[in-house]
Amino acid sequence: MSDGRLDVRLWRDILHVGLFFQIVRDMDFIAQVALVRVIMISGKVAVAGYGLAMFLLTMAVSAIGCSAARRAS
């Protein structure tokens, strides 16, 4: 480690913990893309409405999450 080379064993440990969770995040993103593709059937206005709605909901959810975390701390 101290000689600047990549520590394969350490990175294997990190991937063991974090890789699956990262795949979950990627799958959530892919699922959202698939949902937008379904909404696209209804036209541009529907996509704009869906985007605005999701922005508002995710913003609200993030605010709620931050509020809960601060309350818990």
Partner 1 sequence: MIGQNAGAGDPARAAACLRLAVTWLAVLGAVLIALATFPGPVLRIFTGDDQVIARATETIRALRWAMPAGMISGALLRAYTAVSPNKLGNAISIGCAVLTIVIANTWPGAPLASVAAAMIASQYLRLGLLAALYRRLFRAAIQRRAAPRRADGVLPSGPRPVLRNRALANRALTSMTRSASF
Structure letter (DSSP) for residue 63: H
Q: Tell me if 66 contacts partner 1 by CB under 8 A.
A: no
Angle at 9 between CA 6 and CA 12, to 5 degrees: 100
Nearest distance in Å: CB 25, partner 1: 9
Cβ–Cβ under 8 Å, residues 62 and 54: no
Q: Which amino acid is at 29?
A: F
Interface contacts to partner 1, rule CB under 8 A: 1, 4, 6-7, 10-11, 13-14, 16-17, 20-21, 23-24, 27-28, 30-31, 34-35, 38-39, 41-42, 45-46, 48-50, 52-57, 60-61, 64-65, 67-69, 71-73
